[in-house]
Structure 1
Amino acid sequence: MSVIPDDLVELGRVVSAYGVRGWVKIQPYAADGDALLTAKRWWLKTPVSPAHGGGAGVSASITPFTVQQAKWHSGTVVALFKGFDDRNQSEPLKAHTVWVSRADFPAADEEEFYWVDLLDCLLYGEEEGGQSALLGRVVQVLDNGAHAVLEVEQGNLDDAQCFTPVLSAKGKRQTILVPFVKECVHTVDLAAKRLDSNWPVGF
């Protein structure tokens, strides 16, 4: 039995079988989709049917597949798994989510970053006078078509450097959106999980 890596990242979803020779078609998510083309092992997680209790108390199974070929095709990725040669093998994989170990991602180019690595980074902005101050923690990276956008959960660090979200009067977490462009976020230190920007604190 294969050991499931603890660094799996969800990269897409199987939308259908492709052709008659066992290929599958995957709709990649906007972030980090190129990793599907280079990773030789994908992990497919079964969808949980509402008829079997939705999600509560129900765990989906996850299975490794060896990728024999993978390529872009009209905005999707099509792939052939080792041992597949018939559409009847690929059709049951529809709606499975596709996961890849972060360790299998190709090295990012200089000044390029995988979105998954930005999650949980602390983002610092600027107060009046130019002093650095914490804005919050990155909880999601979005794509607006022109560039990535960081969704940042506002909060503070306590004396133990643990992050605590700031809640609204109704008890809801508050977020801001910050463009992830060099002109705004000028320093990225993934080892320290820290991003520095000129985004105004309190904006």
Structure 2
Amino acid sequence: MSVIPDDLVELGRVVSAYGVRGWVKIQPYAVDGDTLLTAKRWWLKTPVSPAHGGGAGVSASYIPFTVQQAKWHSGTVVALFKGFDDRNQSEPLKAHTVWVSRADFPAADEEEFYWVDLIDCLLYGEDEGGQSAFLGRVVQVLDNGAHAVLEVEQGNVDEAQHFTPVLSAKGKRQTILVPFVKECVHTVDLAAKRLDSNWPVGF
């Protein structure tokens, strides 16, 4: 039995079979879709109906597949798994989510970052005096078509780097959107999970 990696990242979802020779069609998420073209091992997670819920045993629903071929096709990724040669094999995989180990991601180019690595980073901006000031924690990376945008949950951080969210009067978490461009976020330290920017506090 294959050991399920503890660093799996969800990259897409199987939308249908493709053709009659066992290929599958995947709708990749905006996050790091190109990794699907290079990773040779995918893990497909079986869909769980609301009636059954998640709970214990969820890890057993990850099934490993060896990828023989994968390529872009009209905004989707089509792939052929080892041992597949018939549509009847690929059709049951519809609605499965596609996961890849973070260790299998190709090395990012200089000044480029995988969005998944930005999640949970602490973002610092500048106060009125130009001094570094904590803004919040990155909870999601969005794509507005021109560049990436960080969705940052506002809060406080202590000396041990423990984050505490700041809630609204109604008890809801509050977020801000910050462009992830060099002109704004000038320093990225993934090892320290820290981003430094010139984004003004309170903007």
Cα distance, 1:193 vs structure 2: 0.4
> Secondary structure of the residue that 1:16 maps to in structure 2?
strand
TM (norm. structure 2) is: 0.96
Contact 1:44-1:98 within 8 A present in 2 as well: yes
| Identical pairs, percent | 95
CA deviations over 1:125-172 (Å, ceiling 9, x no partner):
000111000000000000111110000000111243311111111111
Relative distance call for 1:92 and 1:190 in structure 2 (3 A) is same
- Between the aligned partners of 1:60 and 1:146, the Cα distance in structure 2 is 39
> Secondary structure of the residue that 2:171 maps to in structure 1?
coil
* Residue matched to 2:98: 98
* Residue matched to 1:26: 26
CA deviations over 1:26-78 (Å, ceiling 9, x no partner):
00001100100000000000011234458799777110000000000010000
Unmatched segments (≥5 aa) in structure 2: none
- Between the aligned partners of 1:105 and 1:31, the Cα distance in structure 2 is 12
Relative distance call for 1:37 and 1:45 in structure 2 (3 A) is same
TM (norm. structure 1) is: 0.96
Unmatched segments (≥5 aa) in structure 1: none
After TM superposition, where is structure 1 displaced by more than 4 Å over at least 4 residues in a row? 53-60
Number of aligned pairs?
203
- Between the aligned partners of 2:40 and 2:57, the Cα distance in structure 1 is 32
> Secondary structure of the residue that 2:90 maps to in structure 1?
helix
Relative distance call for 1:59 and 1:38 in structure 2 (3 A) is closer
CA deviations over 1:69-101 (Å, ceiling 9, x no partner):
000001000000000000000000000000000
- Between the aligned partners of 2:191 and 2:178, the Cα distance in structure 1 is 21
Contact 1:16-1:94 within 8 A present in 2 as well: yes
- Between the aligned partners of 2:56 and 2:145, the Cα distance in structure 1 is 35
How much is the aligned-residue C-alpha RMSD, in angstroms? 1.6
Shifted more, 6-15 versus 55-64: the winner is 55-64
Relative distance call for 1:197 and 1:39 in structure 2 (3 A) is same
Relative distance call for 1:57 and 1:45 in structure 2 (3 A) is closer
> Secondary structure of the residue that 1:161 maps to in structure 2?
coil
